[in-house]
């Protein structure tokens, strides 16, 4: 199989299984954290994602890493490239942006 076909297949599989959720934390826990002011609402983070990396958001996760909560978001751009972005869930600061291969 040629490389472009493999890339297309990988993106198709990713899109077919697109998820939005809280992998490390339950939705109830995320709601409690949001109400307590410990994290920003997901929609605020997604607005930042859309400004930083245009494309289709295919996955979101809220995870606890060390002493902070982090939103991990995957975006597929118009060329089919998958970008993974990490935001501090409390401050909304972009912590990491990378392309997946």
**What pLDDT does residue 27 have?**
86
**What pLDDT does residue 51 have?**
96
**What pLDDT does residue 100 have?**
86
Domains of the chain with CATH codes: 3-99 (3.10.450.40)
> pLDDT, tens digit, for every residue of 46-60?
999 999 999 999 999
List the one residue out of 96, 92, 65, 69 whose CA is nearest residue 83: 96
């Amino acid at each position: 199989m040629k490389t472009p076909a493999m890339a297309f297949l990988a993106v198709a599989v990713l899109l077919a299984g697109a998820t939005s959720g809280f992998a490390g934390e339950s939705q109830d826990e995320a709601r409690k954290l949001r109400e307590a002011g410990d994290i920003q609402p997901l929609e605020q983070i997604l607005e930042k994602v859309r400004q930083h990396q245009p494309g289709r958001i295919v996955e979101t996760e809220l995870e606890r890493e060390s002493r902070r909560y982090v939103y991990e978001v995957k975006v597929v751009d118009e060329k089919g490239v998958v970008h993974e972005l990490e935001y501090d869930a409390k401050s909304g600061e972009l912590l990491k942006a990378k392309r997946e291969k």
